[in-house]
C-alpha cells in the first residue's frame, strides 16, 4: 500500500483526541512529502542532525516533533523550529532546551520521558525523579520551556499484557502529576505512547499522541 494510503487509514481510525506523529527517521524527504500531501503535518525524528538536514528541504508548516534521546550539544540544531520535544530525561537537558529557546525568543513545549519498559537501555525518569524536578526552584525558574505532558516507550515484546500494563502505569503517572501540579493548566494534557506494534493498546489506555513509523513508511533498513 502506498505511504499516503497507509497514513490516511491510520489517521481516519483515530479517536478525535489522539494525534499521530508520523515517524520519518531514516526515510527520505520524498517519502515525507507523500505523507504531507495527504494533509498530514506532524512528523517525528529521533536524531537532531537528521531533522536539521530535512527541515529546510520541506514545507515550513510541518510540526517537527523530536522523539529520540537528545544530547545537550545537539539542542541548537532543533531549537529554532521544533514544536515538541518528547524526550526530556534530565534537568540538565531541560535547562539546555530552555537556554536555546531563550536565544531563539521562543517557548518550547516538552514532555518528560518516563522509563516504563523492563529493558535497561531505555531512557527516562521514574515518578519520584519527575516529582523532584517539578518541586525544584530551578525548574520554576526556566521560563522558556513548557511541560505539556509525558512520554514513554513500552518493552519490545509480543506480550501485549506486559505492554498494556506499562501504558496503564504511564497513564497513572500522568494523572498524579496532573493532580499535583497542573490541575488548573489545560496545556498539560499529552500522553505520548504507542508505536506501530502497540498504538491501538496505547489509545485504549489513554494515549493522546501516537508515534508511528514503520506502519506508514515501511520497515527501516537498520534498527534505529
Ligand atoms: C522509531 C520510533 C518510533 C516509531 O517506531 P515504529 O515501530 O516504526 O512505529 C516511535 N517512538 C520512538 C521514540 C522511536 O524512536
The larger pLDDT score, comparing residue 163 to residue 121, is at: 163
Mean pLDDT score, 84-107: 98
* Residue 58 pLDDT > 60: yes
CA 113 to centroid of ligand 1, rounded, Å: 14
Ligand 1 site-directed mutation target among 44, 217, 222, most atoms within 8 Å of CB: 44
CA 163 to centroid of ligand 1, rounded, Å: 15
> Which residue CA neighbors atom 7 of ligand 1 most closely?
196
Using CB distances shorter than 6 Å, the residues near ligand 1 are: 23, 25, 46, 67-68, 153, 195-196, 211-215
Question: Residue 130: which of 116, 118, 119, 144 has the closest Cα?
Answer: 116
CA 214 to centroid of ligand 1, rounded, Å: 8
* Residue 76 pLDDT > 60: yes
Average pLDDT along the chain: 96
How far is Cα 130 from Cα 113, in angstroms, rounded to an integer?
A: 9
CA 198 to centroid of ligand 1, rounded, Å: 11
What's the confidence (pLDDT) of residue 223? 53
Would you say the C-alpha torsion 216, 31, 155, 111 has a positive or negative sign? negative
Write the DSSP symbol of residue 125: B
How many CB atoms within 10 Å of residue 134? 15
* Residue 224 pLDDT > 50: no
How far is Cα 122 from Cα 105, in angstroms, rounded to an integer?
A: 32
Ligand 1 site-directed mutation target among 67, 70, 88, most atoms within 8 Å of CB: 67
21: left (phi over 0), alpha (psi -120 to 50) or beta: beta
How far is Cα 151 from Cα 67, in angstroms, rounded to an integer?
A: 9
The larger pLDDT score, comparing residue 102 to residue 121, is at: 102
How much of the chain is in helix, strand and coil states, percent to nearest 5? 40, 20, 40
CA 138 to centroid of ligand 1, rounded, Å: 32
Question: Residue 36: which of 11, 66, 1, 68 has the closest Cα?
Answer: 11
* Residue 54 pLDDT > 60: yes
Amino acid at each position: 500500500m502506498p505511504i499516503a494510503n497507509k497514513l490516511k487509514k491510520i489517521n481516519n481510525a483515530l479517536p478525535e483526541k489522539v494525534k499521530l506523529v508520523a515517524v520519518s527517521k531514516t526515510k527520505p524527504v520524498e517519502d515525507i512529502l507523500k505523507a504531507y500531501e495527504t494533509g498530514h503535518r506532524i512528523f517525528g525524528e529521533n536524531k537532531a542532525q537528521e531533522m536539521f538536514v530535512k527541515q529546510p528541504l520541506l514545507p515550513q508548516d510541518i510540526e517537527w516533533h523530536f522523539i529520540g534521546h537528545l544530547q545537550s550539544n545537539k539542542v541548537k540544531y532543533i531549537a529554532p523550529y521544533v514544536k515538541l520535544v518528547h524526550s526530556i530525561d534530565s534537568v540538565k537537558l531541560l535547562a539546555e532546551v530552555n537556554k536555546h529557546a531563550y536565544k531563539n525568543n521562543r517557548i518550547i513545549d516538552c514532555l518528560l520521558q518516563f522509563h516504563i519498559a523492563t529493558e535497561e537501555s531505555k531512557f527516562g525518569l521514574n515518578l519520584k525523579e519527575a516529582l523532584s524536578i517539578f518541586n525544584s526552584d530551578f525548574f520554576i525558574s526556566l521560563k522558556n520551556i513548557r511541560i505539556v505532558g509525558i512520554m514513554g516507550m513500552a518493552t519490545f515484546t509480543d506480550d501485549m499484557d506486559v505492554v498494556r500494563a506499562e501504558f496503564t502505569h504511564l497513564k497513572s503517572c500522568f494523572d498524579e502529576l496532573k493532580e499535583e501540579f497542573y490541575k488548573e493548566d489545560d496545556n498539560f494534557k499529552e500522553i505520548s505512547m504507542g508505536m506501530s506494534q502497540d498504538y491501538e493498546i496505547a489509545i485504549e489506555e489513554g494515549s493522546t499522541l501516537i508515534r508511528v513509523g514503520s506502519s506508514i513508511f515501511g520497515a527501516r533498513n537498520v534498527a534505529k
